[in-house]
């Protein structure tokens, strides 16, 4: 009897919910629309239909029934994209139980960051507050690991990980082995930073050994793919034995996704360039703070860079503004780069990193592309996001000024065509809570 009552209730609820819910239409009118790829439209209109942009221009008609947002005096931008972050895998740095980004093991090609993402992380609302609509969440290695696993492209809206996911996997995370310890190399004996010739030789041999192992894994993966294809076509009587390590590398060797390779100094970057070319894989270099020193080599190799050192403290003998000017140096040299903040709790500063670089020589157009279009291009998703174009996903930010300025406020935000609640922000709620306390 009880089961019958439950089934009846479920049937009534199902009948009460429409089989299909009509997509909401929005029209942002009279606004300055910064498309990124097709210039700036003054006094323009942008129409959102369902999950995508259906119209954009100066002479666009507003569809009947659309919710109209008067954009007079306002600016419209594509949502920003932050890469190589731990959002969803970490919550409170000092609480071990909220940390799920680090894995043991050296070749974790089978790990998927998406399997550990917490869709209820409070970091979503904090990042959205400043116009970040999309992130690439990355697993991390512990110790001397090489492959950390698959990265996932997430929109910062949705009840579940599946609702948030745009592409999984979008990349593979790898730490490139160093042949020289941080501090540079000396001439025999003890080098800078206390590194001996023996230490350097050990590091060099380890780096060569790991590179050989990884290339062998790539070759083995290609044979594994061939064996699976032969079995499917009837040219082989049995399938190859399942191998999760090789399965994880399939999208890499087929060049479907790039490898986000964490690199260090000039020598390490040069070794990584050679490795990428010999392995015939797509790559994005992460943490390449010395990339500007060999920019021409990166341009020739067509390898982009994620830059995250803008607020780093310069060492002794280094110009105080070096890290502020590196984006300008990279841009002028022709290196494609994007700003990146790995910290989940600090990624809301992404637009201000770009704005600070503008103050030190980077053009405003390039700065904006470095937080929108360029990260989308690096990871092969510029066909669906990174700029405001008809048919692209409606990840849209409406502001009262230049999005890269700290004084600018985000007034409206859409992710996949859905208007998000900007007040759903833990920092803002605390601000309002204690602000009201002062008045009492």
Query: pLDDT (tens digit, 0 to 9) for every residue of the chain, 440 residues total?
Result: 444 454 444 444 444 444 333 468 999 999 999 999 999 999 999 999 999 999 999 999 999 999 999 999 999 999 999 999 999 998 777 666 667 677 778 999 999 999 999 999 999 999 999 999 999 999 988 777 899 999 999 999 999 999 999 999 999 999 999 876 654 433 333 344 456 777 888 888 999 999 999 999 999 999 999 999 999 999 999 999 999 999 999 999 999 999 999 999 999 999 999 999 999 999 999 988 899 999 999 999 999 999 999 998 888 888 999 999 999 999 999 999 999 999 988 999 999 999 999 999 999 999 999 999 999 999 999 999 999 999 999 999 999 999 999 999 999 999 999 999 998 888 888 888 888 876 65
* pLDDT of amino acid 194: 53
Domain of 334, CATH number, reads 3.20.20.140
* pLDDT of amino acid 132: 97
* pLDDT of amino acid 241: 95
* pLDDT of amino acid 396: 98
Contact 285, 302 (CB under 8 A): no
Residue 278 within a domain: yes
* pLDDT of amino acid 4: 47
Query: Given 349, 383, 417, which residue is the final one in a domain?
Result: 383
* pLDDT of amino acid 51: 96
* Extended beta strands in 140-225, E state: 140-141, 147-155, 165-175
Residue 284 backbone dihedrals phi, psi, to 5 degrees: -130, 130
* pLDDT of amino acid 368: 98
In this structure, are 45 and 150 located in the same domain? no
Residues 6+ apart with CB under 8 A from 74: 28, 31, 32, 398, 399, 400, 411
**Segments forming the whole domain that contains residue 433:** 1-79+386-440
In this structure, are 14 and 114 located in the same domain? no
Give the whole-angstrom CA distance, residue 261 versus residue 247: 19
In this structure, are 272 and 126 located in the same domain? yes
- Copy the structure tokens of residue 41: 């439209």
Residue 228 within a domain: no
Give the whole-angstrom CA distance, residue 253 versus residue 273: 16
Query: Given 340, 361, 383, which residue is the final one in a domain?
Result: 383
Give the whole-angstrom CA distance, residue 421 versus residue 428: 12
Residue 257 within a domain: yes
In this structure, are 151 and 272 located in the same domain? yes
In this structure, are 392 and 366 located in the same domain? no
In this structure, are 366 and 420 located in the same domain? no
In this structure, are 394 and 277 located in the same domain? no
Give the whole-angstrom CA distance, residue 175 versus residue 287: 10
Contact 261, 301 (CB under 8 A): no
Category of 376 on φ-ψ map: left (φ > 0), alpha (ψ -120 to 50) or beta: alpha
Query: Given 383, 409, 428, which residue is the final one in a domain?
Result: 383
In this structure, are 347 and 431 located in the same domain? no
Residue 171 within a domain: yes
Residue 211 within a domain: no
Residues 6+ apart with CB under 8 A from 428: 125, 129, 422
In this structure, are 286 and 258 located in the same domain? yes
In this structure, are 419 and 353 located in the same domain? no
Number of domains in the chain: 2
Length of the chain: 440
- Which residues does residue 337 pair with via DSSP β-bridges, in sequence order? 305
Domain of 410, CATH number, reads 2.30.40.10
* pLDDT of amino acid 439: 64
- Copy the structure tokens of residue 394: 């409606």
In this structure, are 68 and 106 located in the same domain? no
């Amino acid at each position: 009897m009880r089961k019958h009552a439950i089934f009846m209730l479920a049937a009534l609820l199902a009948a009460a919910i429409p089989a299909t819910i009509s997509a909401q239409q929005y029209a942002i009118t009279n606004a300055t629309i910064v498309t990124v790829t097709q210039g700036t439209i003054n006094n323009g209109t942008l129409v959102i239909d369902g999950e995508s942009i259906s119209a954009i221009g100066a002479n666009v008609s507003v569809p009947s029934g659309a919710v109209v947002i008067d954009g007079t005096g306002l600016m419209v931008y594509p949502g920003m994209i932050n890469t190589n972050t731990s959002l969803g895998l970490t919550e409170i740095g000092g609480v071990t139980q909220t940390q799920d980004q680090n894995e043991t093991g050296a070749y974790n090609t089978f790990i998927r960051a998406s399997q550990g993402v917490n869709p209820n992380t409070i970091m979503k609302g904090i990042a959205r507050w400043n116009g970040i609509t999309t992130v690439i969440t990355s697993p991390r290695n512990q110790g001397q690991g090489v492959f950390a696993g698959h990265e996932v492209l997430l929109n910062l809206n949705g009840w579940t990980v599946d609702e948030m996911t745009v592409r999984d996997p979008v990349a593979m995370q790898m730490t490139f082995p160093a042949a020289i310890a941080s501090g540079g190399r000396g001439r025999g004996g003890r080098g800078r930073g206390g590194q001996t010739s023996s230490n350097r030789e050990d590091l060099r041999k380890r780096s060569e050994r790991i590179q050989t192992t990884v290339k062998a894994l790539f070759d083995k993966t290609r044979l594994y793919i061939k064996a699976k294809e032969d079995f499917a076509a009837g040219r082989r009587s049995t399938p190859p034995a399942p191998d999760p390590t090789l399965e994880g590398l399939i999208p890499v060797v087929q060049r479907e996704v790039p490898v986000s390779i964490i690199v260090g100094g000039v020598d390490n970057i040069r070794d990584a360039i050679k490795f990428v070319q010999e392995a015939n894989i797509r790559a994005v270099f992460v943490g390449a703070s010395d990339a500007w020193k060999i920019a021409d080599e990166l341009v020739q190799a067509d390898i982009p860079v994620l830059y995250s050192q803008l607020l780093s403290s310069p060492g002794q003998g280094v110009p105080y503004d070096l890290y502020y000017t590196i984006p300008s140096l990279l841009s002028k040299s022709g290196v494609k780069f994007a700003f990146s903040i790995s910290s989940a709790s600090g990624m809301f500063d992404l637009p201000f990193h770009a704005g600070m670089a503008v103050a030190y020589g980077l053009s405003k157009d390039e700065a904006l592309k470095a937080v929108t279009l360029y990260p989308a291009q690096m990871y092969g998703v510029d066909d669906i996001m990174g700029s405001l174009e008809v048919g692209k996903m409606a990840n849209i930010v409406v502001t009262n000024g230049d999005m890269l300025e700290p004084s600018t406020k985000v007034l409206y935000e859409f992710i996949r065509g859905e208007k998000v609640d900007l007040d759903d922000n833990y920092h803002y709620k605390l601000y309002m809570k204690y602000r009201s306390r002062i008045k009492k």
